[in-house]
Amino acid sequence: MEAAIDRIMQTYDLLKNRSAAASAEARAKLTEYITTLFEAGEKDPHRLTVCGLTYLRELDGSNDPVKAGFTGL
């Protein structure tokens, strides 16, 4: 689980230029989210990585389906 979190943060840091405080806050939220997934039974580190990156992108608003043109129709 820690390996997945480290991998997510390394990848996310390449995508976003954030302060150390923002990075620490994102890591804390991510750790809580990944722990929830892990305890629910998800053990595959690759799936955890994808879910974690998606989660962080949703938190910062860069993964907005409406802006991307998805209307649900």
Residue type, 29: K
Q: Quick check: 1 pLDDT over 80?
A: yes
Element (H, E) at 4: helix 2-15
d(CA 67, CA 31): 27
SS (H, E, C) 9-69: HHHHHHHCCCCHHHHHHHHHHHHHHHHHHHHCCCCCHHHHHHHHHHHHHHHHCCCCCCCCC
- Three-state DSSP class for residue 7: helix
How does pLDDT run across 34-61, given as a tens digit for each residue? 999 999 999 999 999 999 999 998 888 7
Indicate whether 72 pLDDT > 70. Answer: no
